[in-house]
Chain A
Amino acid sequence: MKAKKRAVTILQTVFLIILAVIVLLPIYIAISNTFKVSDIILDQPLSLPIPPTIQNIVSVIKSPNTNMLEMYRNSTILMVAGTALTVIVSSMAAYYLARVKTKFSGMLRVYFLIGIMVPYVIVYMPLCILLRNLSIPFGVPVLIFVFVSGNISFATFMYTNYIHSLPIELEEAAEIDGATRFQVFWKILFPLLRPCTTTIAIFVGLGIWNDFQTPLLLGQIKTITVGIYTAVGPYSADWGVVFAYVFFAAMPVILVYLVAQKNFVNGLTAGALKG
């Protein structure tokens, strides 16, 4: 009986190891081949990059049709501003939705919720036409607000549930002490929302950083993802350079993920679980 149990455990571990290798292999191929010259990639894709070359990285940085700095700057601005703005407007809206019990507030809650089901592809074409007719130039600033609009449903929903679970007494006490609603929210309530804010920030931030369709279809804004797509093009087969681009896109995310793994998992699954 005991021997059988051990055999099962070993079998399970072997299965997990095989699957882990399958999951990691493409990532290993991408990272190791970033540091090899293109000629050897096809002959020995699995070998370690010894001696490593930074030729691919350099050619990406020096490439005339890519501006890595601009791409990083756009993606970072979009991610930081988009996430911060989403957190601010959604938490404030949720404060109203959670603490005011009127028919109007209930209707508003449903109104915000509808956006969760929307396949975003429906919005691109009308948005382009709307911006064109209002003569708003396509660019990073308007894209920030587009990302916020797409994330308000989810963030407001999460915050509203979270505020519901918090006792209202603290806010009432602060009000008796003469604090305004605004002060109550920012000084008392908002710090208490921190776990929820972390979850939302990771979900929204990573979503913006990795988004491809939105910046591509709304004016081909050169974010990391769109920049790489346009730089590599559909027919390139210089894999060393392709891997170097992927390296630039994926490395920051992998590093942050390995450091804050638990927060990432919470951030990316909590939305689904609460929904």
Chain B
Amino acid sequence: MKKKRMSIGFAAPAFVIYTMLLVIPIMMAFYFSLNKWNGFNAMQFIGIENYINVFRDARLGNAVINTLIISVVVIIFVNVLGLFLAMLVNTASVKSNIFRTIFFIPFVLSTVAISFVWKSILSYNGVLNGMLTTFGQEGLIGNWLGSHGSAIVCIIIVEIWRTLGYHMMLYLAALQTVPHELYEACTVDGGNRWNKFRHVTLPLIVPGMTVSFLMSIINELRMYDVVKIMTDGGPGYDTETIVYNIVSQGFSNSMVGYSSAISVVLFLAIGAISVFIVTKMNQKEVEM
């Protein structure tokens, strides 16, 4: 039989599009990051100066801290509550199905739509304060999105509300891989609810947990839409995130070289975190 050779032509269209519009721009970003450039004038090669500035930039430092605060709270919340919810709805009943459907709705909606709805609720002249007035609780009225401290809490609440159902679904998929016999075996051995959770469920869902953690970290580190619409980074720089900072330095302030340097660092950080978590969790899986 004459073996026909598989043509590289099958991979060519994907290769061209991917290279042209993703790989080359990334390489350009690396190159820009070594230059001082506003996008129009002549480029000036300055080596790693942009990278040195990245670590000295107080405004960026603030954005990093904001991103970390938002990320840590959201990640812990959606993973703990997501797993808990998944365990509650992990039955094949109509009731569970309805709850699953409801909890997942926010995740299919666009962040733009969601952000505007929450903005209308939390704004100073918004629905929440309107309700407080109606109930005669004027004392409780606050400028939720416009005050130091409460603005970032609002962002966190919206992010949790938006992604909780997604993480519930990830955990649900993981829970459904746990064989039922193991729970029965645990009962026979005199194990209670906690034992079942600690010694059966937890060790077996480590892969699902890795995925859920990783996705929440990646999602939160890329935070932009909700902040852009709800607070526009404000008040002051109170809710500015890393990605918001990159866009604003690059597009509003025309600091192409510098903003590229920040995004390169973010790229490397996300890559490093991903590799770290995957290897760490793989070890845990063996230990448990």
Could you mark each residue 104-119 of chain B with 1 if its beta carbon is under 8 Å from any beta carbon of chain A, else 0? 1111111111101111
Q: Complex formed: what's the CA distance from A242 to B93 in Å? A: 38
- The answer to whether the Cβ of B173 comes within 8 Å of any Cβ in the partner chain is yes
On whether the beta carbons of A253 and B109 are closer than 8 Å, the reply is yes
- Complex partner residue of B264 from A44, A122, A130, CB under 8 angstroms: A122
- Please determine whether B225 and A213 come into contact, CB atoms closer than 8 angstroms: yes
Check if B21 sits within 8 Å of A146, measured CB to CB.
Answer: yes
Q: Count contacts on A: residues with CB < 8 A to the other chain.
A: 93
Interface flag for A12 (CB, 8 Å): yes
Q: Which of A17-25, A50-58, A61-69, A192-200 contacts B (4 or more CB under 8 A)?
A: A17-25
Majority SS of interface residues in chain A? helix
Q: Mark A43-86, 1 if CB is under 8 A from B, else 0.
A: 11110000000000000000000000000000000000000000
User: DSSP majority for the B interface?
Assistant: helix
- Knowing A112-B18, A254-B109, A261-B101, the reply to whether A97 touches B25 (Cβ < 8 A) is no
Is B112 within 8 A of A249, CB to CB?
yes
**B270 contacts A117, C-beta separation under 8 Å:** yes
Assess whether A92 is in contact with B103, with CB atoms less than 8 Å apart: no
- C-beta contact mask, B250-288 vs A, less than 8 Å → 1, else 0? 110000100110011011001100100000000000000
Asked if A108 contacts B24 (CB within 8 A), the reply is no
The segment out of B46-54, B70-78, B123-131 that lies at the interface is B123-131
A127 within 8 A of B: yes
Cβ 8 A contact of A272, one of B28, B113, B211, B246: B211
Indicate if the CB atoms of B127 and A273 lie closer than 8 Å: no
Asked if B95 is at the interface of the complex by the 8 Å CB criterion, the answer is yes
- Once bound together, how far apart are the Cα atoms of A153 and B23, in whole Å? 11
A33-B120 Cα distance, complex, nearest whole Å: 11
Please state if B6 and A130 are interface contacts (CB–CB under 8 Å).
no
The residue that B29 contacts in the complex, of A20, A125, A185, with Cβ under 8 A, is A125
Are A23 and B17 closer than 8 Å at their CB atoms?
A: no
- Which residues of chain B are near A45, meaning CB under 8 Å? 127, 130-131
Residues in A239-275 with C-beta less than 8 Å from chain B: 239, 242-243, 245-246, 249-250, 253-254, 257-258, 261, 264-265, 268-269, 272-273, 275
Chain B residues lying within 8 Å of A209, measured Cβ to Cβ, are: 110
A16 touches B6 (CB 8 A): no
Query: Does B39 contact A43, Cβ atoms closer than 8 Å?
Result: no
Residues of A within 8 A of B113 (CB): 30, 225, 228, 246, 249-250
User: Which residues of the partner chain B approach A181 to less than 8 Å between Cβ atoms?
Assistant: 4, 6-7, 10
The smallest C-beta distance from A93 to any residue of chain B, in angstroms, reads: 4
Q: Is B144 in the interface zone, CB < 8 Å from A?
A: no
Q: Given A209-B110, A253-B110: A122 and B225 within 8 A (CB)?
A: no
Task: Tell me the number of A-to-B contacts counted with CB atoms below 8 Å.
Answer: 256
Q: Which residues in B have their C-beta under 8 angstroms from that of A126?
A: 24-26, 28-29, 32, 260
Q: Are B125 and A237 closer than 8 Å at their CB atoms?
A: yes
Chain A residues near B89 (CB-CB < 8 A): 16
Q: Does B183 contact A (CB under 8 A)?
A: no
A26 within 8 A of B: yes
Number of interface residues of B (CB under 8 A): 92
- Interface window among B55-63, B164-172, B184-192: B164-172
> Is A118 part of the contact surface with B, judged by Cβ < 8 Å?
yes
CB < 8 Å: which of A29, A92, A224, A234 contacts B232? A234
Chain B hits for A13, CB < 8 A: 95
CB distance from B222 to the nearest CB of A (A): 5
Q: Give chain B residues whose Cβ lies under 8 Å from the Cβ of A185.
A: 10
Verify A122–B26 contact, CB threshold 8 A. Answer: yes
Contact partner, A12, options B88, B111, B228, B266, Cβ 8 Å:
B88
B14 within 8 Å of A (CB atoms): yes
Chain A: CB-nearest residue to B264 = A122
A119 at the interface (CB under 8 A from B): yes
Question: How far, in Å, is A8 (CB) from chain B's closest CB?
Answer: 9
Interface residues of A in 174-231 (CB under 8 A from B): 175-176, 180-181, 185, 206, 209-213, 217, 224-225, 228-229
Are A130 and B25 in contact, CB atoms less than 8 angstroms apart? yes
How many angstroms between the C-alpha atoms of A264 and B106 in the bound complex? 12
Given contacts A119-B221, A129-B28, A253-B108, 4 further A-B contacts (CB under 8 A): A16-B99, A92-B13, A126-B26, A127-B21
* 10 residue pairs, one from A and one from B, having the closest CB atoms: A42-B130, A149-B21, A210-B110, A126-B28, A126-B25, A93-B14, A122-B263, A89-B14, A96-B10, A225-B112
Measuring CB to CB, which residues of chain B are less than 8 angstroms from any residue of chain A? Answer: 1, 4, 6-8, 10-11, 13-15, 17-18, 20-26, 28-29, 32, 39, 85, 88-89, 95, 99-114, 116-121, 123, 125-127, 129-131, 133-134, 161, 164-166, 169-170, 173, 208, 211-212, 214-215, 221-222, 224-225, 228-229, 232, 243, 246-247, 250-251, 256, 259-260, 263-264, 266-267, 270-271, 274
